[in-house]
């Protein structure tokens, strides 16, 4: 199929215990919090209302069984958010899993669609 030269793909990875809840959206939220230390900024960057963003995180935490994000209120730096140790490790593993998988997927895609 010669038109296939212009095909693209996208792949969404979800990791879960019971229900698919930790996917690209929550991963991106965590990545932004890790980089900027602010949940509010992360919601804004992603165009999410804080109630919707908070729900995504809570549902993922509920499914995974551990806390992903820790928020502090007030204090010398005015408060902020950071990843829990488990959140850090989980995000790292998720990102490695996605990135290595994408390397393999790209090779296979090119076999069938280029």
- Helix 39-46 vs helix 24-36: crossing angle, to nearest 10: 130
Name the one range near a second copy by CB under 8 A: 36-44, 46-54, 59-67, 74-82: 59-67
How far is residue 35's CA from residue 7's CA, in Å, rounded to a whole number?
A: 33
Q: How many residues bind a second copy (CB under 8 A)?
A: 34
Q: Does 86 bind a second copy (CB under 8 A)?
A: yes
Return residues touching a second copy (CB under 8 A). 1, 3, 6-17, 20, 64-66, 86, 89-90, 93-94, 96-97, 100-101, 104-105, 108-109, 111-113
């Amino acid at each position: 199929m010669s038109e296939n030269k212009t095909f693209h793909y996208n792949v969404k990875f979800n990791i879960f215990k019971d229900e698919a809840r930790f996917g690209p959206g929550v991963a991106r939220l965590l990545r932004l919090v890790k980089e900027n230390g602010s949940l509010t900024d992360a919601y804004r960057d992603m165009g999410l209302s804080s109630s919707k963003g908070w729900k995504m995180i809570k549902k993922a935490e509920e499914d995974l069984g551990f806390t992903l994000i820790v928020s502090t209120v007030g204090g010398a730096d005015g408060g902020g958010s950071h990843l829990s140790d488990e959140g850090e490790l989980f995000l790292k593993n998720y990102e490695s899993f996605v990135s290595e998988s994408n390397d393999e997927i790209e090779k296979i895609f090119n076999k069938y669609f280029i």
